[in-house]
Amino acid sequence: MTRTLVVVGHGMVGHRLVEALRERDEAGAWRITVLAEENRPAYDRVALSSYLDGKSAEDLSLTSHELLDDPLVDLRLGTAVTGVDPAARTVSTSDGLVLSYDALVLATGSRPFVPPVPGHDLDGCFVYRTIEDLDAIRDAAKESRPGVVIGGGLLGLEAANALRLLGMQAHVVEMAPRLMPLQVDEGGGQVLGRLVEDLGLVVHCGAATQSINGEGAVRSVTLADGTVIETDLVVFSAGVRPRDELAELAGLARGERGGFLVDERCRTSQEHIWAIGECAAVDGRCYGLVAPGYSMAEGVAEQLLELGEGTFPGADLSTKLKLLGVDVASFGDAHGQTDGALEVVYANNAAGTYAKLVLSDDARVLLGGVLVGDASAYSVLRPLVGRELPAPPEQLLLPAGSGVDTGALPADATVCSCNNVTKQDITTAITEHGLTDVPGIKACTRAGTSCGSCVPMLKNLLGECGVSTSKALCEHFPQSRAELFEIVQATGIGSFSELIGRYGSGRGCDICKPAVASILASLGHGHILDGEQAALQDTNDRYLANMQRNGTYSVVPRVPGGEITPDKLIVLGEVAKEFGLYTKITGGQRIDLFGARVEQLPAIWRRLVDAGFESGHAYGKALRTVKSCVGNDWCRYGVQDSVSMAIRLELRYRGLRAPHKIKAGVSGCARECAEARGKDFGVIATDKGWNLYVGGNGGFTPRHAELLAADLDDEQLIRLIDRFLMFYVRTADRLQRTAAWIEAMEGGLDHLREVIVEDSLGIAEELEAAMQRHVDSYRDEWAGVLGDPAKLARFVSFVNAPEAPDPTISFVQERGQIRPGPVSLPMPTVGVQEVHA
C-alpha cells in the first residue's frame, strides 16, 4: 500500500530528500507532497552569488523535468504550513487544505539574522538569502556609491562581492578581529584581509554597528568607534537562525539555541515527524552548511524505505571556496583546539598565501588546517584528516600539496564531503561501470556535483584506475586541438576536408568544424568566409556579427583602447538612427549597435568602414578589446601612457583567432582603473615601466591574473605578449580560456614563465615570428565581405526574396530605444509602442 510523505520546505535539503527517496523507492511505496513557501522550486543557494554574475534563475534550479513530471511527487509552490496535528497526523496549509501524512519531514531551513540595531528596518536595508533578495539589492544598487555589508563571514564576503559586481564601493563590517572568524585563524585572516583590500573592499574588523541612520531610508551607518560611512544600501549577513516556528504548533521540543530538537536519526520528539537541514538541532546543535543537511536527507530516506538505521554520521564542516577570486579553505580542527595540537605554518606575504596544518602531539596525524590564497592542496589534505601523514608536513605545504597525490589516500577516505562519497565508492564505480570521464563519475556517484572542490581529484582517480583520459577533439579526430594545430602548421594543409581526409574520419561536427576553422584562421589561411571555410563557422562567425535572442544581430566596430574622435562618435549615432538600432556602451569601452537584420549588415558595415571603422571581432574567438584608463596624459596619478600602449596592443593583436575569446587591459598606475588583472593579459604601469599579468578572466569563474614579469620597457612587454598569445593559440584546448589553460598546465605559472620569459623550450623566436606573420597578414573581415559579391550574397533572410525582412522580428520602445518584442504579438501594453522591423 502506498503511504504518504509530506515534506515542508523545498530548499536544497528538502529537494535532496525527495530525490533520494524517489531514486531508491523502486516499488513506489511513498507518495510525496512537498509544501514550498517560496514561489520557485529548489535552487542552488550555495551558488547564489553567481546570479549577479551572469547566471539566470533557471541556471541555478535543481529541479529536473523528470521530477516535476513524476506522478508520485506533488510539488506545491507558494504554500505555507499553518498548523500541524501530530495526533491526527495532518498538516494545514495557507490555502485552506488539510493534508494527511504517514510521515512528516520538516525542512524549513533558516532565516537571516538581522541585529536589532537602530535603523535596521529602514528602506535600503536588505538580507542576502534568496533570488528575490538579490533582485532587490540589484534594483537599489547605485554605481560608484558606498554599500555596507554587516558581517564578515563567508556569506558576508559573498555579499560584498555582489556589491562590487554591481559597481559599488563595498565596506565590510565585522565584529571579530578578522574576516571569516569561524573558518580561518588569525594568520589566515590577516592574509585574507590584505587580499580583499587589494581588490578594492574596505574592511572594518573589530567593529560593531552602532546605528543605521536616515529619515525613512538609509543615509549612513555609524560604527561603535564613531566612524560614519555615507551609504544608501546596507546588507545584513550576520548569520542565520533556524526556522522552527512550527515547533509550538506541533508540540515539538526545541534545541537550546533553537531548531527542532532531533536525535542522531533526525527524529523529533513526536513520532512520525523528522527534521533535516538547518532547522534541525541534532543533539542540540544546528548546522549551517549544505553537506550535513544532505547527509540527514539520505539518512531519513533510508529509514522511510527501511533500508538501514539512517544514523547521522556527524558533520564535516570543511569548506573550500573562492571569494572575490581569492581561495580560502579550512578543514578539520582548523583552530588547533585539540589538546597538545601542534601547528606547522607557512606564510608567503609577498605572494599572498598562507597555509597551516594542525597535527597531533606526536606530529604524525593530521587534525586540520587552513589555506588562504592557494587552496590547491585542499582536495588531498581534507580526506587525510584523522590519519597519519603520508609525507613530512613541509612537503605538503611547499608548494601546496606537491608531495601527495590520490594514491596516498586510503580507500575509506571521504573524497566528496558534500555527498559523503569515499575514494572506494568512486574507484568501484569507475571499474564496475566502465566510467571514462569526470561527468560519468558525477552522474554515477554524485561526487563533485555540489561545491565542486573535489573535482580535481576525480580525474586523478580515473588515472589511478588505469583509465586514460582521451584528448580527442571529438569523435572525428583522435588528436587534441594542440596536436591538430601542429599538424596543420607542419603540413601546410589549408582546408577542413583535406585535414579530416588525411587525419580524421567522417564528415565532421559542430565541435571540430569551428575548431579547425579557428586553427586555419590563426595560421593565416585566408578570409574566414572564403570557400569551404564559410561552412565551418558557427552562427556568429558566419555573419561576422553577434546573433541576439530575437534573431537580429549586433554590430561592434573596433575602438582601440577606448579612444574615439567626435567625428567617429557622430557616425555611430548617424548609423544607429538610420537603421533604427539600439546603442549600448559595453564594458570593454566600445559601442554596440543592436537590432540589425542580416540583410542590413553589409550596408551598416559600408557606412562604418567608409568612416574608418573596422570589425571589433565581438563575434569571434579572438582578441576582443584592450581596455585602458586615461593614463598620464590626463590623470594626476598616471605614471605611463596607458592609452597609447592599449591602442598599440589592440592594433597589433586584432583579428588573432584563438581557442577562446581574449580580453586585455592597460592601467596607467596601480589604482587599476582599467581592471587589467581581470583580463586574459593585463598591463599595469610602474614608475620603471610595465608589469605583465596573465591568466585572468571574469565570467562564471572569475580569476585574478598573476604576475608574469615586472618593470618591462615597451619592446620587452610586446615580445612577451607575442610569445604568450602564440603559445596559448598553439597549445590550449578547444574553448579553453587562458585562466583554465594555465591552471591545467603542468607546473602552472612557473612553467609558463620558464617558456615565455626564460625561453626554456627555445621557441621564443619562433613564437615572435608567428605573431609578426599575423600582424603583417591582417585584413579587416568586414571590408573583405564588402569587396566580394559571392560573400555578400550570403547576407539575406530569404534566398528567394533577398530584400524581404524577417516578419517574425519585432521591437518595442523602451527608454527611448528599441528592444526585442515578442514573436507572436500580444495586445499592445499601455505605454509601450510597437515597432516592426
- 722-to-287, 324, 596, 815 alpha-carbon distances in Å: 51, 29, 35, 44
Ramachandran class of 764: left when φ > 0, alpha when ψ lies in -120 to 50, beta otherwise = alpha
Say if CB 773 and CB 524 are below 8 A apart.
Answer: yes
The one-letter code for the residue type at 583 is: T
Question: For residue 796, how many other CB atoms are within 10 A of its CB?
Answer: 15
Containing 477, the helix (H) or strand (E) segment is none
Closest CA to 300 of 270, 255, 262: 262
Question: Is 635 a known ligand-binding residue?
Answer: yes
Write phi, then psi, for 669 (nearest 5 degrees): -165, 180
Name residue, grid cell 537580429: 552
Say if CB 526 and CB 538 are below 8 A apart.
Answer: no
Please give the Cα distance from 412 to 313 (Å, whole number). 14
Please give the Cα distance from 498 to 501 (Å, whole number). 5
| Residues sharing a CB contact under 8 Å with residue 458, sequence separation 6 or more, in sequence order | 415, 426, 438, 441, 442, 447, 448
Closest CA to 320 of 415, 243, 443: 415
Cell of 649: 596592443
Closest CA to 731 of 718, 742, 719: 742
First to last CA, the chain: 61
Please give the Cα distance from 569 to 121 (Å, whole number). 46
Residues linked to residue 99 through DSSP beta bridges, in sequence order: 91
> What's 621's DSSP letter?
S
- Using CB atoms within 10 A of its CB, is residue 111 exposed (0-12), middle (13-18) or buried (19+)? middle
Question: Is 673 a known ligand-binding residue?
Answer: yes
Burial string for 631-668 (b: 16+ CB within 10 Å, else e) reads bbeeeeebbbbbbbbbbbbbbbbbbbbbbbbbbbbbbb
Cell of 235: 546588507
- 767-to-524, 749, 750, 775 alpha-carbon distances in Å: 15, 18, 19, 13
Residues linked to residue 709 through DSSP beta bridges, in sequence order: 692
Question: For residue 254, how many other CB atoms are within 10 A of its CB?
Answer: 17
Closest CA to 44 of 34, 55, 35: 55
- 168-to-140, 214, 358, 686 alpha-carbon distances in Å: 11, 20, 38, 26
Cell of 316: 564535516
Closest CA to 229 of 249, 252, 210, 250: 210
Please give the Cα distance from 603 to 309 (Å, whole number). 72
Cell of 626: 584592450
Please give the Cα distance from 322 to 659 (Å, whole number). 25
Please give the Cα distance from 593 to 127 (Å, whole number). 37
Question: Is 629 a known ligand-binding residue?
Answer: yes
Cell of 726: 602564440
Say if CB 500 and CB 532 are below 8 A apart.
Answer: no
DSSP assignments along 348-401, one per residue: ETTTTEEEEEEE-TTS-BEEEEEEES--TTHHHHGGGTTSB-SS-HHHHHTTBT
Extract the annotated binding site.
629, 635, 669, 673
Q: Binding site membership for [4Fe-4S] cluster: which residues?
A: 629, 635, 669, 673
Annotated binding-site ranges for siroheme = 673
